[in-house]
Chains A and B, each alone.
Chain A
Amino acid sequence: MSVSRVSNATAATAVAGLQMVTPTSVSVGSGTGSVAGQGAVTFSGASSVSLNGCFSANYENYRVIFKISRSVSDIGWVGVYLRSNGVDKTTSYFNKLIDTDLNAANVTWVGQNTTTALLPIGYTGSNIPLAGNFDVINPFVTGYTHFNGMGTGIVVGNRYQMAFFQGINTDSYSGDGLSFISSGGGFTGSIRVYGYNNGGA
């Protein structure tokens, strides 16, 4: 699959495939952030990170790739909000995260209880980042938004974790951005957003 870069303000080109998207701005709840020329969003010591304007009418669907570590050694988890015009959407998420311990000889799945306030994407500490990806289906067009993702990270006891998470925001909503928050403390890492370009003029 070909990958190319385009500003979010530029109309989709004729090349089908993933195209990296640059948000129109980034907000952090603390710490620092930056966006490189190729669109990678990096941040440090941030209590939250928001990518504004990364969703638009250019693409129906998106792929988000993340790598996040907490600034403190205790384990915490990371969640995602949709947002629109700089305001987080904090209601109507129906989701599950299930994970298993990569260190264990056997597979025992553990479920994260549902929250309607955000989409959980996994756990992290300061030594092993939470890294993974998720697709966001139909965020910008007013209607339901679906999330499908996976990641690897670390849980209490410094045990490596793999997780799947899926969810739906069931409000008739148009989102133009995403926010990442943790269960406490700041985090450091990088996030990239790609649009699925369907090709054609």
Chain B
Amino acid sequence: MELVDITPEDSVVPVYLEVLNEEEQAERDAEQSRMQEEQAAREAEVTAKEEAKQSGLAKLQALGLTEDEAKALLG
């Protein structure tokens, strides 16, 4: 890693630009890719939970429950 001094005049401590070497950048890129995958997994989970909830709600109402009763069961 290389440090480049980019301290602005109004900073009370040094500020550096960290320039990663190839290996460090590859590690950082890999971690960011994994974070993006985790985000996609989270979004898929949110969608799946909402769809399951709506499906369950509809099925309970078809069985004769009111919407409030169905929502109370589903939580």
Question: In the bound complex, what is the Cα–Cα distance between A33 and B18 (angstroms)?
Answer: 12
Tier of interface size on chain B = 20 to 34
Which residue of B has the minimal Cβ distance to A109? B49
Task: Give the secondary structure class of B's interface.
Answer: helix
Within 8 Å of chain B (Cβ to Cβ): is A127? no
A28 with B15: CB separation less than 8 A: yes
Tier of interface size on chain A = 35 or more
A25 with B39: CB separation less than 8 A: no
What is the distance, in angstroms, from A155's C-beta to the closest C-beta of chain B?
8
Partner of A184, one of B1, B16, B32, B46: B32
B42 with A28: CB separation less than 8 A: no
Within 8 Å of chain B (Cβ to Cβ): is A199? no
Partner of B10, one of A34, A79, A86, A117: A34
As a 0/1 sequence over residues 139 to 181 of chain A, the CB contacts with chain B under 8 angstroms (1 = contact) are 0000000000000000110000000000000000000000001
As a 0/1 sequence over residues 1 to 45 of chain B, the CB contacts with chain A under 8 angstroms (1 = contact) are 101001010111111111010000001100110111011011101
Question: In the bound complex, what is the Cα–Cα distance between A34 and B16 (angstroms)?
Answer: 10
Which residue of A has the minimal Cβ distance to B8? A34
Within 8 Å of chain B (Cβ to Cβ): is A118? yes
A contact set with B: CB distance below 8 Å: 22-30, 32-37, 48, 50, 75-77, 79, 86-87, 90, 101, 106, 108, 110-113, 115, 117-118, 120, 123, 155-156, 181-184
